[in-house]
Structure 1
Amino acid sequence: MSDLLSAPETKVAAPERQSALDTLMHAFETYKTANETRLAEIERRGAADPLLDERMRRLDHVIDACKARMDRLETERRRPPLGITRTEAPRGEHGAAFTGYVRHGASDGLKALEAKSLSTGVGADGGYLVPYETEQEIGRRLAALSPIRALATVRTIGAGTYRKPFMTSGPMVGWAAETAARPQTDSPVLAELAFPAMELYAMPAATQALLDDGQVNVEEWLAGEVDSAFAEQEGAAFVSGDGTAKPTGFLAYPKVAESGWSWGKTGYVATGVAGGFPASDAADPLLDLVYALKGGYRQNAAFVMNRRTQAAVRKLKDDAGAYLWTPPAGAGQPASLMGFPVQEAEAMPDIGDGAFAIAFGDFRRGYLVVDRAGVRVLRDPYSAKPYVLFYTTKRVGGGIQDFDAIKLLKFAAG
């Protein structure tokens, strides 16, 4: 047991990802054995041994650590190396000018390019746009690190707000015989959803020695420094942001019981127990949640919850005694619950009385992320000498675009 609990801290031989997966599978098998013992204790004595509960909590930490390790290794595998070779070809006029600005603060090249393209409202006071390749790299890293972005539809816009029309009522339709008259139908009633892009910023720091090192790809360095900061902030906003200077999270919209659902609100299913699952038939609320979603949305649906909620869900079994939660089938793949993928989002609330701790839906159809084209960098060598700060900004928005595609599980009596 002690060897298992220390496994995520040890260095493993190559291939590391397969070793991490093996450790995770071993940990989950141990977890299931411990849980069977815990359930037998509850059946026999009415309560589990506190030492057994503590063992279960420790195993939860092991499983979470193994999964985090697999995710980290997969992210590192996809990430390009920081260094470059001396024979690497130049990356274009903008890339060369931007590298000169980041390394030495030389902005003449960027000013000339922006004057040539007749761009306005930019300059040393507002920073300069990063090269297109760097912007794309930041976007790829955010997709790997930001859980809701990885599930949602992402659209790049050139204006400050993306407006999407939708029909509140469609045209009248009906059946008619071959020679019968066709009465004129009513026109559809249109409304629109607006998704404004808000400013998100990060401020990585570097030493001048690092910037002077010709073996360091400064554009890759910058992308690597801002990706985790951007991902953490936008990940929280996509879940619970209030829409004021940030995106509107899917938990921020009005919520209503699924039986009274209407457009503009998010439907929920209650567990029937305040702050937990029912003592008997504990999996029933999850089944109700799955089937609250229409069939067309279930095909690409996923669960979203934080790791502490996952720890509670791992104990649940179906009527045949099979566990509902299963580990990832391979490196870079998600765990699954009842056959649907589980996306871990730490911004989701913990299980508690009245908490909406689990979301389920087709987030690609249900949630929209809008990125304003352009990532801007302002070089600041003065505020934190001897370090050089890079005030990096991008504009991001988000919100629900289809209120029928996302459902919530409320841990409450009703």
Structure 2
Amino acid sequence: MSDSNSRPVPAAALQAPETKAVTGEEATRRELDEMRAAFTAFREVNDERLAEIETRGAADVLTGDKLARIDAALDRQQQRLDTLALKAARPPRGEGADKANGAPDEHKSAFLAYMRKGREDGLRVLEQKSLSVGSDPDGGYLVPEETEAGILRRMASVSPIRAIAGNRQVSASVFKKPFSLAGPQSGWVAETAARPETGSPTLAELAFPTMELYAMPAATASLLDDAAVDVDAWIAEEVELAFAEQEGAAFVNGDGVNRPRGFLDYPSVAEASWSWGNLGHVATGLDGAFPAADPGDVLIDLVYALKAGYRQNARFVMNRRTQGAVRKMKDGEGNYLWQPPASVGAPATLMSFPVTEAEDMPDIATDAPAIAFGDFRRGYLVVDRAGVRILRDPYSAKPYVLFYTTKRVGGGMQDFDAIKLLAFSA
């Protein structure tokens, strides 16, 4: 057994820091310092493991266990950093509640009366004035604009793909986007020569239908009667995680039936055979695993499968377990390819590109596209239909009041050349 195994693992790598009264910024900075310390310990133990493999042909069991514990600690600290970043991104309670002149917003006042007491007369009059259709006691009422903006803003912080994808808000049920299959027609001419007419471009159309997403938080009568409770903030907090969880799965793996179509649902072909309508992939050369020799080389192949114009804003997307596997990789000079966040609010990086953690990405397995790389803002489009509706239901679950909250959202690929996949296949 290696003598190094008798050394204790640094406490920062295995334990959560002591709880004490600190500001949000101080807590985030402390978590970041703890994560850096844990990664230093991770590198030391992984170097020991690699040295044991070189000298003995296999790593010591205790070294492997120690590395797994530190790896799990890194994951926990990343989760705490994500949680702190989400709290920091939340707007103050009551934000947008009053107009600049101090008078309460008419829509918000009517909305609060509906939420707390079920009085819908104020909302009915307002939505009749705005010629809104489909807003009634059976279909629910639109939340105030600032409440809807708060929900979408928080979801962008929670939903990993929404946070990095393109976004378009529409008023219709389907968003249609034309595109040219051949690109714009052009040519070279002399200064005084005639400009011949170019060929007609071949146009096609992408359609992004919006699907209904719902959540149903419940409240007690005492909560609604409490004037100190900010109902806007409460409803946003209740639905954000429910919506974000469903969206996160759909944007990755959705089949387009009553939900958005995820980018992994589109056909995938070898990068050498790429054509519009497919996602190109690079194979690792080994079923269900990275190659044993120079595993980082396949990541380099993946990066350079993407055109230069897309690489400027590109990032890796993978789940936590896959990220744990790439943490152990080094380049030819012995530097680790994965690095912890460089500053508060920054993401971890892989080969200097940001890493987005999406738990709905597949694990490493035979033929699994476990890693995606690309400019998701140009590649994938999230479409939100304007308006979040709430229907108050005090009858179905007495003594609780249910709030049936719905929004319409769609999604799909808008540029098939902007995202590439790493397939774990021979």
Shift of 1:236: 0.7
* C-alpha distance in structure 2 between counterparts of 1:5 and 1:176, whole Å: 66
Verify: 1:207 aligned to 2:220, yes or no: yes
Cα distance in 2, alignment partners of residues 213 and 5 from structure 1? 43
Partner residue of 1:52 out of 63, 69, 77:
63
Q: Residue 30 of structure 1 corresponds to which residue in structure 2?
A: 41
Distance in structure 1 (CA, Å) of the matches to 2:36 and 2:287: 33
SS in 1 for 2:16: helix
In structure 2, relative to structure 1, the CA distance for the partners of 1:384 and 1:346 (3 Å cut) is same
Q: CA deviation at 1:174?
A: 3.2
TM normalised by structure 2 equals 0.93
Looking at structure 1, the residues matched to 363 and 394 of structure 2 have their Cα atoms a distance apart, in angstroms, of 42
Q: Is the aligned partner of 1:247 residue 2:283?
A: no
Does the CA contact (< 8 Å) of 1:83 and 1:216 recur in 2? no
Aligned equivalent of 2:271, options 248, 258, 268: 258
Residue 269 in structure 1 maps to residue 277 in structure 2: no
Matched, 1:8 2:39: no
Secondary structure of the structure 2 residue equivalent to 1:408: strand
Counting only pairs closer than 5 Å after superposition, residues 13-412 of structure 1 correspond to structure 2 as 14=22, 15-82=26-93, 89-170=102-183, 172-178=185-191, 182-412=195-425
The CA deviation string for residues 285-324 of structure 1, in whole angstroms up to 9 with x for no partner, is 1000000000000000000001100000000000010000
Gap change, CA 1:138 and 1:83, over 3 Å in 2: closer
Offset of residue 381 of structure 1: 1.1
In 2, distance between residues paired with 1:228 and 1:271?
35
Report if the CA contact (8 A) 2:392-2:401 is conserved: yes
CA contact (8 A) 1:301 1:363 kept: yes
Tell me by how many angstroms 1:38 deviates.
Answer: 0.5
Counterpart CA distance in 2 for 1:168 and 1:77 is 43
Contact 2:282 2:302 in 1 (8 A): yes
Contact persistence 2:154–2:240 (CA under 8 A): yes
Q: Which runs of 5+ in 2 are unaligned?
A: 1-8
Counterpart-to-counterpart distance in 1, 2:169 and 2:98: 34
> Which residue identity lines up with residue 212 of structure 2 in the other structure?
E
Question: Aligned partners of 1:275, 1:12: CA distance in 2, in Å?
Answer: 44
Code of the aligned partner of 1:40: A
Deviation of 1:91 after TM superposition, in Å, equals 3.4
- CA shift at 1:42, angstroms? 0.8
Judge conservation of contact 2:318–2:370 (CA < 8 Å) in 1.
yes
TM-score (norm. length: structure 1)? 0.96
Give deviations 1:32-76, integer Å, cap 9, x for gaps: 000000001111111112222222111111001111111111211
CA-based RMSD of the aligned residues comes to: 1.8
2 and 122 in structure 1: CA distance in 2 versus 1, 3 angstrom threshold: same
How far did 1:78 drift?
Answer: 2.4
Does structure 1 conserve the Cα–Cα contact (< 8 Å) formed by 2:35 and 2:340? yes
Query: Matches of 2:198 and 2:33 in 1, distance apart?
Result: 62
CA distance in 2, matches of 1:382, 1:301: 50
User: Deviation string for 1:66-123 (max 9, x for gaps)?
Assistant: 1111111121122234579x99945311100000011111111111111222222221
AA in 1 matched with 2:124? K
Q: How many residues align?
A: 412
Following TM superposition, by how much is the alpha carbon of 1:160 offset from its aligned partner in structure 2, in angstroms?
0.2
Q: Is the 8 A contact 1:203 1:390 kept in 2?
A: yes
Q: What's the CA shift string for 1:258-305, capped at 9, x where partnerless?
A: 000000000000011111111111101100000000000000000000
SS at match of 2:199: coil
Q: 1:264 is aligned with what amino acid?
A: G
Distance 1:51 1:198 in 2: 51
- Cα distance in 2 for residues equivalent to 1:188 and 1:70: 49
Amino acid at match of 1:45: R
- The amino acid of 2:335's aligned partner reads A
Distance 1:307 1:354 in 2: 19
**What runs of 5+ residues in structure 1 fail to find an aligned partner?**
none
Q: 1:6: how far off?
A: 4.4
Return the offset for 1:9.
6.3
**Would the aligned equivalents of 1:8 and 1:69 in 2 still touch at CA under 8 Å?**
no
Counterpart-to-counterpart distance in 2, 1:91 and 1:59: 52
Q: Quick check: 184-193 or 171-180, which moved more?
A: 171-180
Letter matched to residue 314 of structure 1 = R
Equivalent pair of 2:28/2:84 in contact (CA under 8 Å): yes
